[in-house]
């Protein structure tokens, strides 16, 4: 089966790299990631249609193929 064949290939290398990384680095990376996501959310806040509920309700289509 595909999965069982694949598992051994992804040997210890990648896993060790993650394990040996100090925990603070991981936390910092997560924070950087979060602020990265927040940046784009802020940008998107500015372009979102103003009344979400009305907009979603009035998006009515006729069937197609």
- The CA-CA-CA angle for residues 48, 42, 32, to 5°, reads 145
Q: Does 31 bind another protein (CB under 8 A)?
A: no
Q: Does 26 bind another protein (CB under 8 A)?
A: no
Write down the residue that tokens 């680095």 correspond to.
25
User: At its nearest, how many Å lie between another protein and the CB of residue 14?
Assistant: 9
Q: How far apart are CA 41 and CA 33, in angstroms?
A: 13
Selected binder of another protein within 2, 11, 12, 16 (CB under 8 A): 2
Residues of this chain that bind another protein (CB under 8 A): 1-3, 6, 37-38, 40-41, 43-44, 47-49, 52-53, 55-65
């Amino acid at each position: 089966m595909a999965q069982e064949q694949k598992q051994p290939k992804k040997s210890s290398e990648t896993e060790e790299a993650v394990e040996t990384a100090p925990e603070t680095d991981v936390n910092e990376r997560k924070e950087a990631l979060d602020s990265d996501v927040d940046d784009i959310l802020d940008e998107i806040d500015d372009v979102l249609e103003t009344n979400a509920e009305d907009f979603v309700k009035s998006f009515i289509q006729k069937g197609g193929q």
